[in-house]
Structure 1
Amino acid sequence: MGEQQSVSEATSLRPERGASLVLVAAQATTSLGTAVTGFGMNVWIFEETGSFALFATLAVVAALPGLLLAPVAGVVVDRYDRRLVLLACQGVGAVMLALTLLAALTDSLSAPLVGVLWAVMSSVGAFSWPAVSASITVLSSPEQRPRVNGLAETLMGTVTVGSPVLGAVLYRFIGIEGIAAFDLASYAACLGLIAYMRFPEERRRAGAAGGGGPRFGDDLREAWRFLSGRRDLLRLLVFFVLVNVGLSMFTVLYAPYVLSFASSGVLGILLSLGGAGTIVAGAVYSATGGPTAKHVGVLAGALLAGLSMAALGLLREPYALYAVAFLYGTSVPLLNASSQTLWQASVPPALQGRVFSLRRMLAWSMTPVSMVASVPLAERFAAPLVREGRPAAGLWGTGTAGALGLTATLCGLLCLLVIALTQATGGLRTEGGQPVA
């Protein structure tokens, strides 16, 4: 560990004023374009094929590359100039979108090509996310980071609210070709912003440009040694793995659950209000810097999410659902911005690419399993419990709505159980007994 740059060394770098905000804005720009494209492609796939199986397959194709490439991405982000990594990501994304636009214009767009597009974009995200996260550390002071992370959550909430509306308008008036062109323009804008930025000089790892530096496996082992030597961070990571099980199941169930008893218009309002909650909470977090002890923010965010999921499974009245959906949205910045700030402060910048990539891969490792498990949980466990005459039917109702509602509540209760067990076994604290933040 002696050759690594320490966190205190990193904070002595002089970050360019406002550079981290420009980077966050650039990332949000491409996120908006990608979200709009995702909406348009989903509509196009459904209209062209009508196949739910194909829809689900493409969702898996979109998720897996990002998880599988995470270790490689972490090594690359730590070995090479992160600005160049980001430029390469934007360039690859722009080329892929240009090919997609060409295919759409020549009536050559197909489901396999859409699958390739999402696989490439997922791969690009595997590299760009740790590069952005690690760059924020050196582009902002420790005091600025909570506000920058809060702003990032605000912008992502704006993307969540705005992308379906913008995607629907663009798809109706200019079609899939126009949407691909819009996304291509967003990547070009982000490419220009990053090319204009200056990053503080960082000490790169030996062998970054070739030669006799450490091997790929050595780089990964170094990151794992750091992570395994920090039981407090491992504890936080396990916390997120378990909480994400509930969140992943709920994400799959949310739309079918609402549509089982309400209209698509109600679902649209709920999704928009969830995004609005994220915008408001993110703006407050950015303005105040969030809780002083970041582990409190993590626990509070998970608590809000758990209570909201449990309540949403019980409710049917639209206005009550609207209020809880907004509350659910407010949990996102508390959970994510607090966690991100904590990791940025705890991991040496020279290791952040690898550690952050490992962290993301492990934190979401159970997501595919959770999504698959949600089906038997609802059909084989929850459905029998809400049959007519059963006590649970009085609370959650019967039929599909009752089974999915009970499952949603169980997702929330799982999060609450994880919080309770974490607190009962020492909480999210360092080995020395002080808060992680």
Structure 2
Amino acid sequence: MQELFRNPTFLKLFLATFTSQLGNVVGNMAFAYYMVDRFSNQPSLASMAELMYSLPTLAVFWIVGVVADRFDRKHIATYSDWIRALLTLLLLLFVHYDVLFMCFLILFLRSSISKFFGPAEMGLLQGSIGQDQYVHASGLIQIISGVFMLFGLSLGATAYHFIGIEGAIIVDLCSFLLSGFLLAWAKFPEQARMPNGKNRVRDLRFSLVIKDFWQGLQYIIHNRLLLILISGFMFFGIVNGVFSVLPIFSMKYKLSPDQYVVHSSLVTVFMGIGFLIGSILGPILIRRYTRTPILITCLFLASLFLAGLGLVPRVELYFVIILLAGIAIAPINIALGSWLPELVPPQNMGRVNSLIEPVMMLGHSLALGTISLAFPVWINVTWLHLTLAICTVAVSFFYWRSLPGLVRKTTAPATAEQATP
């Protein structure tokens, strides 16, 4: 891991990813508090703001991967940050004058532009480090996610309380500018920046975009190991969708009706601590036992912990088990996140990576739609947990039946090729 931080390119990319996520988290959380505080008699507006963060996925997912594979990934990531900084400046103006419709429009545009950052950043990461460093790099990125899961809500609340919504938006603005400058100063290899050679924007036609998108989709379909791995990302979408409301529902309707606000926030804290611990242990376990057994075992353990969450009678036990669940889930993310760069060639990385989020969003939407229809008429809090546990153990069983044989088939040719000389 020390070798990664001795690499100045990776260090700048890591810091740029951190500051870019900081810009997303602080402002979004503070804006949620602002909406609840400013329009307390219209709670639907807070839901509308949340929708402005999720809808852009469906609007631009078909083009972001094509752009990341055809143009300079360094420029894409850099300008993604700087354009969001400009939009954030406009958001500051519209919040100051209380123009709510324009605030929602800016949030939608800012979230749309942010979708171009991920595929470009993944491609730059793939081309800037060695293949043997993917696991540690994925672990470090998971640590960033754990930190923001742990402190994101608190950062937004603190910023809103002490410097107000306008101050929080200024923090966003500075974070995006700094992230863009870090990327602009970094020296990425030419192959990482433009794996398909130089292309001009004027040559990007709608028919070409559809053709490239279809080629990326076909690449996934024809690579069975990759297809099975990506199909598992729907599970993460389901988990994200359920967990976006499950802590509040568990405390409000079962464990702590009188103090559900405080206790549901603590659930996020304990989950974040578990993610941090799991992100540290994950690379060590994967190096020791390889990805496949760690992925299957952690999914099975996570299903046991999720079932336990639905059965516990006390808040304290819920905190302990959610921490253990976080420890189990983090290595799953690391195993999948570090596997993709090994399976996908650099020239297709953007298109493949851009298809992951729609799969997760599909699971996310299915989960929330089911909860909206079934809770609390047909299912209660306990059955929400148990249903999630059943889904998780089903994915574990699916991977157990399919992955080991596919991995052996995939690695056998490489092993034979090494033995031939």
TM-score range, shorter chain: 0.7 to 0.9
Q: Give distance in 1, aligned partners of 2:143 and 2:110.
A: 23
- Residue 166 (structure 2) pairs with residue 177 (structure 1): yes
Q: What is the SS of the residue equivalent to 2:262?
A: helix
Indicate the larger mover: 140-149 or 45-54: 45-54
- Give the match for residue 390 of structure 2: 413
- Describe the shift of the 1:161–1:366 C-alpha distance in structure 2 as closer, same or farther (beyond 3 A): closer
Tell whether the 8 Å contact from 2:68 to 2:350 is kept in structure 1 after alignment. yes
Alignment of 1:114-133 (within 5 A): 114-133=103-122
- In structure 1, distance between residues paired with 2:6 and 2:217: 31
CA distance in 2: counterparts of 1:36 and 1:304, whole angstroms: 32
Give yes or no for the alignment of 1:368 onto 2:365: yes
Task: For residue 339 of structure 1, report the CA deviation from its aligned partner.
Answer: 0.5
Q: 1:162 to 1:131 in 2, by over 3 A?
A: same
Question: 1:115, CA displacement in angstroms?
Answer: 2.0
Offset, 1:206: 5.5
2:292 is equivalent to residue 295 of structure 1: yes
Kept after mapping to 2: 8 A contact 1:250/1:309? no
Return the alpha-carbon distance in structure 1 between the equivalents of residues 168 and 390 of structure 2: 40
* Contact 1:291–1:297 under 8 Å retained in 2: no
Q: Map Cα deviations across residues 21-48 of structure 1 (whole Å, 9 max, x no partner).
A: 3212211112123211111111111112
Tell whether the 8 Å contact from 1:160 to 1:272 is kept in structure 2 after alignment. yes
**Structure-2 change in CA distance of 1:83 and 1:409 (3 Å):** same
Structure 1 residue ranges without an equivalent (≥5): 1-14, 383-402
| Equivalent of residue 230 in structure 1, options 217, 223, 235 | 223
Deviates more, 1:245-254 or 1:232-241: 245-254
Letter of the structure 1 residue corresponding to residue 23 of structure 2: G
Q: 1:249 to 1:224 in 2, by over 3 A?
A: same
Is 177-186 or 53-62 further displaced after alignment?
53-62
Alpha-carbon displacement from aligned partner over 1:71-130 (angstroms, at most 9, x marks no partner): 2000000001100001110011100111122233xx313442332233123212211111
* 1:306 has 2:303 as partner: yes
Distance in 1 between residues matched to 2:343 and 2:201, nearest whole Å: 29
Which of 188, 194, 217 in structure 1 is aligned with 2:210? Answer: 217
1:95 corresponds to which of 64, 82, 86: 86
| Residue number in structure 1 paired with 2:35 | 45
1:78-157 counterparts in 2 under 5 A?
A: 78-104=69-95, 107-157=96-146
Please give the secondary structure, in 2, of the residue aligned with 1:215.
helix
> Can you list the C-alpha shifts for 1:285-336, whole angstroms capped at 9, x where unaligned?
3567655522333323433332222211211312211111111222342121
Q: Residues 62 and 115 of structure 1 are in contact (CA less than 8 Å); yes or no, is this contact kept in structure 2?
A: no
Query: Which deviates more from structure 2 when the two are superposed, residues 124-133 or residues 354-363?
Result: 354-363
Q: Secondary structure at the match of 2:406?
A: coil
**For the residues of structure 1 that align with 2:406 and 2:334, how far apart are their CA atoms?**
19
Change in 2 beyond 3 A, CA 1:33/1:290:
farther
Counterpart position of 2:248: 255
Name 1:57's counterpart in structure 2.
Answer: 48
Aligned residue type for 1:417? A
Q: Which residue is 1:71 aligned to?
A: 62
- TM-score, normalization by structure 1: 0.84
- Indicate the SS of the match to 1:199: coil
Q: Which residue in the other structure is 1:5 paired with?
A: none
Query: Does the 8 Å CA contact 2:237/2:364 hold for their aligned counterparts?
Result: yes
Structure 1 Cα separation of the partners of residues 114 and 57 of structure 2: 7
Aligned counterparts of 2:118 and 2:276: Cα–Cα separation in 1: 20
**CA offsets 1:190-247 (integer angstroms, 9 cap, x no match):** 1121111011011543662157789222212221221111011111222322453344
For residues 325 and 53 of structure 2, the distance between their equivalents in structure 1, rounded to whole angstroms, comes to 25
Secondary structure of the residue aligned to 2:245 is helix
What does the per-residue CA deviation read over 1:400-429, in whole Å, with 9 as the maximum and x for residues that have no partner?
A: xxx122212211222112322443x43365
Distance 2:98 2:404 in 1: 49
TM-score of the aligned structures, taking structure 2 as reference length: 0.87
In 1: Cα distance, 2:398 partner to 2:195 partner: 40
Amino acid at match of 1:335: I
- Aligned partner (choices 32, 35, 40) of residue 25 of structure 2: 35
Aligned letter for 2:217? W
Q: Which deviates the most, 359-368 or 274-283? A: 359-368
> Deviation of residue 179 (structure 1)?
0.4
Gaps of 5+ in 2: 415-421
**2:202 is the alignment partner of 1:205:** no
Question: Map of 1:331-370 to 2, 5 A cutoff?
Answer: 331-370=328-367
Q: Quick check: 80-89 or 198-207, which moved more?
A: 198-207
Richer in helix (by share): 2
For the pair 1:245 / 2:238, whether they are aligned, the reply is yes
Q: Which residue of 1 aligns with 2:406?
A: 430
- Tell me how far apart the structure 2 counterparts of residues 318 and 18 of structure 1 sit (CA, whole Å): 45
Corresponding letter in the other structure for 2:39:
T
2:417 aligns to what? none
Please report the RMSD computed on the Cα atoms of aligned residues, expressed in angstroms: 2.6
Q: Which amino acid aligns with 1:407?
A: L
Greater Cα shift, 117-126 or 295-304: 295-304
Which of residues 274, 278, 301 is equivalent to 2:275? 278
Q: Structure 1 CA distance, aligned partners of 2:215 and 2:288? A: 32
1:323 aligns with one of 311, 320, 341: 320
